[in-house]
Chains A and B, each alone.
Chain A
Amino acid sequence: MLAFLIRRITQSAVVLLVMSVLVFVGVFYIGNPVDILIAPDATPAEYARAVKALGLDKPLWEQYFIFLKGALHGNFGNSFVYNEPALKIILTRLPATLELAFTAMLMAVFVGIPLGMVAGIQHDNWIGRNIMRFSILGFSLPTFWVGLMLIIIFSVHFDLLPSGGRGDTVDLFGIPVSFLSWDGIKHLILPAMNLALFKTSLAIRLSRAGVQENLQMDYVKFAKAKGLSNTRIIGLHVMKNIMIPVVTVLGMELGNLIAFAVVTETIFAWPGMGKLVIDSIGVLDRPIIVAYLLITVTMFIIINLIVDILYSILDPRVRLGDQR
């Protein structure tokens, strides 16, 4: 286990280093941020002053090494547009995104898995077929369109839920969260539903396939022969077996939810990281873009690690360590 962890961490460090070079060079070649940030009527002298203030007068390699030196000390540089540490700005937006992503994931798990199991058991009647139809819709409708539809139906037409924003937050261990106030929950429902739709469909498909596959297995027949109740067979034995692929896939998808909630956050004006990075790309705020991508990569690495560990708990035959 320890050797496995150490190897993982070394590999991750290399991945991060390569990523940072790629991102840095990539962002450098898109364009010059000063052209976007500066007032158009600024004189050439002011332009030069802004270039210098942002450290853009130095050659690329020098800028990179300054960045790397800072990054090793946990400092990703100051954002060009906010003039505050990039990391701090991203971290203040992180709770909103995490909250949205976890709510969406919970929705997907608690709606998707049961529905999928029902669809797997009742695969030849109208219930199962309708569940599958729903999952096809969930896969194929664009997030953007669904988001706008949710707003039009629930906010504009029926006036049940707010159309966007985050609502009242309550501090939990110093971190503002919205799921502890009624207003906050109301603001959370629509974006979380929007974000959860695709994952719910995924969970339905995975668990349905798992149930169908497992129902054919000898152990199920054996359990039936032994006279175990259907509820017990499905709720305990089958459930345990279908969870392995579901946990793996959803675990990976959680990373996607956190990193790429961009569309949902934009439509619902949700103040998370995704919206921040889109705004930052618009003005080429390099420190934020680079820091965001590195944080995202780190997060994926950690999630993969947790998935691997969970996997070994669910299926003791899987051993962590040297798998050559």
Chain B
Amino acid sequence: MRNKLLAAITLLALLLVGTSTVWASTLTLGLKGEPTSLDPHFHNVSANNMQALYVFDKLIRQDNRQKLEPGLAESWTPVSDTVWEFKLRKGVTFHDGSPFTAKDVKFTLERIPQVPNSPSSFTGFVTAIKEIEIVDDHTIRFHTENPAPLLPRNLAAFPIVSKKNAEGRKTEDFNSGVACIGTGPYKLVKWDRGDKITYARNDNYWGDKSPWETIIIKPITNDGTRVAALMAGDVDLINFVPPADVKHLSKEENLHLSKSPSTRLIYLHLDSDRDDTPTVMGNNGEKIRNPLKDSRVRKAISKAINRQAIAARIMDGLAVPASQMVPDGYEGTSTNLKPEPYDPKGAKALLAEAGYPEGFRITLHGPNDRYVNDADIAQAVAQMLTKIGIKTEVNTMPKSVYFGKASALEFSLMLVGWATDTGEQSNCLASLLHTYDKEKGFGASNRGRYSNPVLDQKLEEALVTVDPDKHNQLIIEATEIGINDTGIVPIHYQVNVWGMKKGLEYNGRTDGYTLSREISIAQ
């Protein structure tokens, strides 16, 4: 009898301990980057855009797979080809208690092009809007010059600030906290630059309430230190766990990891425009006409790459072989496109058909501090190309040197990455594959100067087609044209890994953000 009682009590005690893993009311996150500013419209870069979502809300949110969902706007509909109407959420207040209305939206949109000294502004997201019409406090209409099917996507790119608090304020006032007043789930308490950002819960938040009263964000740039901080228990959750640490962290008893594919595509860009390209030579070092202009040569390069091997061995399984610019399942992705299978024989045959049976010499340029294992990927690709007869040298350099040279068209073959923050394919089509066109604003990152008039025409038509099905169909066709013609050589999508204490739950996001509202306590 006594034994039974004892057992029962022990069991009860165990159950209690098991279920009541009480979380301190503070959550500490160790994140790789630090925002350069808390002004949400100053610098369009992912560390800033993510951080802004703690304090501010967007009109339209992106879910963790980057599908659009209502934010401060409850619904949005095209009234005509050139007018979008947005219904705003009622009963939302800013942190200072003032109500959120259409005035704030108008103010935000007008503020964006006027933020001084912005090194990368959000202006591109609002240029389509010609006139902003406030219908009533909670209805607003955007008039555009041309049909603008991407307007909702663009308005999902930046958060809304309060007219009352931000009018006449400078970027510095956001950093100090005076103007950093939003409608978001957390209020800014203090930013100790380089050390931590402290947030307190907004108890009047319109959305789901967060379980933590305080969130502290520590920027820890060094990968090793971030992992150590998690293992030492100094932080509760970290982002961008380096692939090399995934194995031993997953064996730790009191930790667990979550993985999520990302929209970060690693690809090769090839100079397919000029007759005379900087780093291509014949086998004897003589000058030859640029072979990359021939789509068969480009296809051969694509066939020569063993994507499975790169994903498995160089990326430790933390990569998904890529077939196009955005992973499957996103808006505007083609279901016909599959990752190019590894086919060295076929590659050699294509090279011979194009008139290069003996191949040629080329240099592959890449950054060595920008993407996960970037220099190693470049080495592997070079070996694979050398195998089919394209004798490839590798030259990698720090990103601060690399991108300037790449934009100045000093390379013939280069390894680059691209993250589609907008979550749909037209964004990268326009920047990477559309013919470079300074006036119309296309091809800004088209460093291979790939050009295909059919693709250009389909994309431009899509960009003025408001009907979502027709719009998507055109984007898919344009994508298939560009990829089948090997305008770029997609290699893989990076997989992001988060590490956290047992008892926390975070599924990860394809944009790589770590958002408080999606971190939960495990049931």
Contacts and interface: CB of A to CB of B under 8 A. Distances in A.
A324 to B, nearest CB: 45
Given A165-B196, A282-B399, A46 B123 contact: yes
Interface stretch (A81-89, A196-204, A215-223): A81-89
Given A43-B124, A78-B117, A83 B37 contact: yes
B119 A38 contact: yes
A124 B481 CA distance: 81
B99 interface: no
A275 B404 contact: no
A47 B444 contact: yes
Contacts of B400: 30-31, 33, 36, 281-284
Contact of A54 (B42, B117, B194): B117
B29 to A, nearest CB: 12
A53 interface: yes
A290 B306 CA distance: 45
Interface in B134-174: 171-172
A176 B44 CA distance: 31
B333 to A, nearest CB: 17
Interface string B394-412: 0000111111111100000
B37 A82 contact: yes
B245 interface: no
Contacts of B407: 32, 35
A80 interface: yes
B222 A50 contact: no
Nearest to A155: B232
Contact of B195 (A36, A271, A283): A271
Contacts of A42: 44, 120, 124, 444
A266 interface: yes
A275 B419 CA distance: 26
Interface string A273-291: 0011001011110000000
Most buried by B among A44, A80, A266: A44
A142 interface: no
A39 B44 contact: yes
Interface string B28-49: 0000001011010011110000
A283 B400 CA distance: 6
A92 B191 CA distance: 12
Given A34-B119, A35-B407, A164 B229 contact: yes
Interface in A109-166: 148, 151-152, 155-156, 159, 162-166
Nearest to A47: B444
B228 A163 contact: yes
A41 to B, nearest CB: 5
A40 B445 contact: yes
Given A31-B403, A53-B116, A165-B195, A268 B225 contact: yes
A159 B232 contact: yes
Nearest to B176: A84
A266 B232 contact: no
Contacts of A47: 444
A36 B445 CA distance: 12
Interface size class of A (residues with CB under 8 A): 35 or more
Interface stretch (B205-213, B426-434, B492-500): B426-434
Interface in A36-93: 36-47, 49-50, 53-54, 78, 80-84, 89, 92-93
B233 A38 contact: no
Contacts of B172: 83-84
A113 B196 CA distance: 37
A267 B117 contact: no
A269 interface: yes
A255 interface: no
B67 interface: no
A218 B406 CA distance: 70
A164 B232 CA distance: 10
A197 to B, nearest CB: 18
B77 interface: no
A159 B233 contact: yes
A251 interface: no
A53 B228 contact: no
B129 interface: no
Interface in B421-443: 421-422, 427-428, 430-431, 438, 441-442
A72 B195 CA distance: 31
Contact of B225 (A45, A50, A164, A271): A164
Interface string B217-239: 01111101100110111100000
A210 interface: no
B422 to A, nearest CB: 8
Nearest to A54: B119
Most buried by B among A38, A39, A53: A39
A32 B118 CA distance: 15
Contact of A81 (B43, B116, B121, B428): B43
Nearest to B418: A40
B438 A269 contact: no
B121 A271 contact: no
A84 B173 CA distance: 11
B228 A156 contact: yes
A239 to B, nearest CB: 40
Interface in B177-225: 192-196, 218-222, 224-225
A148 B234 CA distance: 15
Contacts of A93: 193-194
A38 B403 CA distance: 11
Interface string B87-123: 0000000000000000000000000000011111101
B373 interface: no
A92 B430 CA distance: 42
B418 A81 contact: no
B121 A163 contact: no
Given A159-B233, A268-B225, A45 B404 contact: no
A83 B407 CA distance: 25
Contacts of B422: 41
Contact of A40 (B37, B117, B192, B431): B431
A275 B119 CA distance: 21
Most buried by A among B39, B398, B402: B398
A114 to B, nearest CB: 32
Nearest to B115: A83
A34 B43 CA distance: 12
B262 to A, nearest CB: 15
B175 interface: yes
Contacts of A54: 117, 119
7 contacts: A31-B400, A32-B404, A39-B44, A53-B117, A54-B117, A92-B193, A165-B234
Interface of A: 30-47, 49-50, 53-54, 78, 80-84, 89, 92-93, 96, 148, 151-152, 155-156, 159, 162-166, 169, 176, 266-269, 271-272, 275-276, 279, 281-284
Listed from nearest, the 9 A-B pairs whose CB atoms lie closest are A271-B194, A43-B441, A31-B404, A155-B232, A37-B119, A271-B195, A35-B403, A81-B36, A38-B120
